[in-house]
A and B are shown apart, each in its own frame.
Chain A
Amino acid sequence: MKTFILLASVLLPGINIAIAGTLSEREIYLSATLLERVFPLADNTRAISHSFSAEEKNQMMNTLGSFRLRDSLLVIASSKQGTLLGFAVVDHVRGKDQPITYCIVVDPSLHVMTTEILVYRESYGGEVQRRSWLDQFIGKSPDDQLRPGRDIKNITGATISARSVTLGVAQILTVLRIVEPRLLRELQ
């Protein structure tokens, strides 16, 4: 398996950030600034890579099917004086034919605090970036149903993008519920 380390340039004055993986520097930077906004009192923000255990993979396979199975999840967590405030997960879903990069921020009980589209590439469907649409996810947890067009509104002219992001958020929440016990220990 091909692995690599990518050391990013300095993105904020006086702060060294080392990142890796398929997220671009800009995406990491955007999600870190998003966390800063959501948790202005945080005194520590760090990224961890959670590697899925065999048991977690099995559970994911049973709940989600194998079509998006991977080996690890990148989580960026904010804490204050050692207490976890919440964390962000960045992921991509496919729009009509290009990836949509989005970020969800959840509190330690896995309730969505905010959702943001970090990079939108397609020429249609950009309405999913609207605050009024994204705010529908606030407060949702893995226990809530997130059915496109029912629990989360569709958008005329942006059906594919709205659907993809809705299913993406639902999937991430399901994954978080499965990895919750181990992940929260790792984040302590």
Chain B
Amino acid sequence: MKFVRIMFGVLLFAVSSHSLFSQSEHTTVGGYGELHYNEPDGIRSGQLDFHRFVLYLSHQFDDHVSFHSEVEIEHTLIEAGEPEGGKLSIEQAYLDYRISTPLVVRAGILLAPVGIINQYHEPPTFNGVERPNVDRYIIPTTWREAGIGLHGMIAPEFRYQAYVVAGFRAEGFDAKSGLRGGRQSALESSPTNPSFTGRIDYSPVLDTQIGGSWFVGNTNGNADSLGSATVALLSVDVRQTFGNLELRGVGAIVSVSDAGKINAQYGNMVANRMLGYYVEGAYNIMPVLCQESEQRLSLFARYERYDTQLSTTGFARLKQYNRSDVVLGATYKPTYNTCFKVDYTFMNNALNTASAPNTKQLNVGIGYFFN
């Protein structure tokens, strides 16, 4: 091998002059938000709501240790004693200690890395004014708990996350929203049922992202009468781009063991199986309208099915909770991080009676994020 002589002269540099981003301590501020207009049937008068206003605050202590947080105000206003008001919450607040690229320790309030929207929920990153209902009723987004674990990149095409977090509380489960009411969200949460959650991301080629994620843990809060009350959620998600066409799909299945015992104790009619999936296609037509434009105008369609009563023990399935949605709409993005959205959503259920009718809704929204 040819000997290569590397000789650097002694150089003088100003610390502040070389680059904007040194490894020195610094703080960053960012945020996202979305204003929604929802009109039932597209005929009756609807309502305007600044649904989410979120601030990011991050700090890098040195090249290895950093802090990240998201503080959220939902529905703009919180008034003491008003149950109908909004909500102020800490969505994320954790420390990352990067030992090396494949080995980063994360501890704090962290997101369950399940599905797509629970991790990427900035409005310009998804189509439709409202988040997919699968990401509400089956994967209870925004789903965060206090915990600790590891994440990292093994290769540019392979990443993993694995955490131990506080588990669900079975008493919060119900027929309609499944696991959603059982989240503790790090609010004086009980660690009696440590649960395991994680995710593998695999990207064989640049335009394909495949993820597999899970969440497993008991929910009995040490009450023997509930048995183990184990919740297991498995999910797969795929994102694929073909030029101007973007496809994404998510599937998730939930199993609740000892659902009969949970229902006997709390009367909440939780199912022992739940299922949800959606597929979405979006096509950016801006290059057709204006070849030179860097803006995006995507037309999209999404089909969702979500059934929080897929199978039950001791009572007949509540078929009004076997639901499917069709969402048709458009997303206009003047910049990559701002969006104007409109969609029309058909929400159907397997019962479709006067007490649980199929419904339709017109949604209009604006959204942004910056960092």
Contacts and interface: CB of A to CB of B under 8 A. Distances in A.
B150 to A, nearest CB: 11
Interface residues of B, number: 55
A111 B4 CA distance: 24
A160 interface: yes
Contact of A49 (B5, B12, B30): B12
A123 B8 contact: no
Given A2-B15, A72-B17, A126-B153, A18 B8 contact: yes
Contacts of A185: none
Contacts of A24: 23, 63
Contacts of B6: 12, 15, 17, 32, 36, 45-46
Interface string B1-23: 01011111111111111111111
Contacts of B4: 36, 40, 42-43, 45
A156 B239 contact: yes
Interface string A148-177: 111001111101100100000000000000
Which of A12, A15, A48, A98 lies at the interface centre, i.e. has the most chain B CB atoms within 10 A of its CB? A98
A98 B12 contact: no
A156 B18 contact: no
A3 B18 CA distance: 11
Interface residues of A, number: 67
Contacts, number: 169
A47 B15 CA distance: 17
A3 B63 contact: no
Contacts of B278: none
Nearest to A150: B294
B64 to A, nearest CB: 9
Contact of B101 (A93, A120, A155): A120
B7 A20 contact: no
B206 A159 contact: no
Contacts of A93: 21
Contact of A22 (B5, B15, B336): B15
Given A97-B68, A156-B239, A47 B8 contact: yes
A143 B253 CA distance: 52
A74 interface: yes
Nearest to A28: B8
B12 A3 contact: yes
B313 interface: no
Nearest to B11: A20
B18 A23 contact: yes
B151 interface: yes
Given A94-B28, A97-B28, A149 B294 contact: yes
A157 B30 CA distance: 18
B209 A19 contact: no
A21 B161 CA distance: 35
Which of B5, B19, B98 lies at the interface centre, i.e. has the most chain A CB atoms within 10 A of its CB? B19
B104 interface: yes
Contacts of B206: 127, 130, 132-133, 153, 155
Nearest to A120: B101
A4 B15 CA distance: 7
B198 to A, nearest CB: 13
Contact of A21 (B18, B28, B104, B294): B18
Given A19-B8, A45-B7, A157-B209, A97 B16 contact: no
A127 B203 contact: yes
B60 interface: yes
B17 A126 contact: no
18 contacts: A3-B13, A20-B13, A24-B23, A40-B4, A45-B4, A45-B5, A48-B9, A49-B11, A120-B153, A123-B104, A123-B151, A126-B159, A127-B203, A129-B153, A129-B156, A130-B203, A130-B206, A156-B207
Given A99-B21, A159-B336, 20 more contacts: A1-B17, A15-B6, A18-B8, A18-B10, A32-B6, A36-B6, A45-B5, A45-B6, A71-B14, A72-B14, A72-B18, A74-B18, A91-B19, A92-B22, A96-B58, A96-B371, A119-B63, A123-B96, A129-B153, A154-B336
Interface of A: 1-5, 7, 12, 15-24, 28, 32, 36, 40-49, 68, 70-72, 74, 91-94, 96-99, 119-121, 123-124, 126-127, 129-133, 147-150, 153-157, 159-160, 163
Interface of B: 2, 4-24, 28, 30, 56, 58, 60, 63, 66, 68, 96, 98, 101, 104, 106, 119-120, 125, 151, 153, 156-157, 159, 161, 203, 205-207, 209, 239, 241, 246, 294, 336, 371
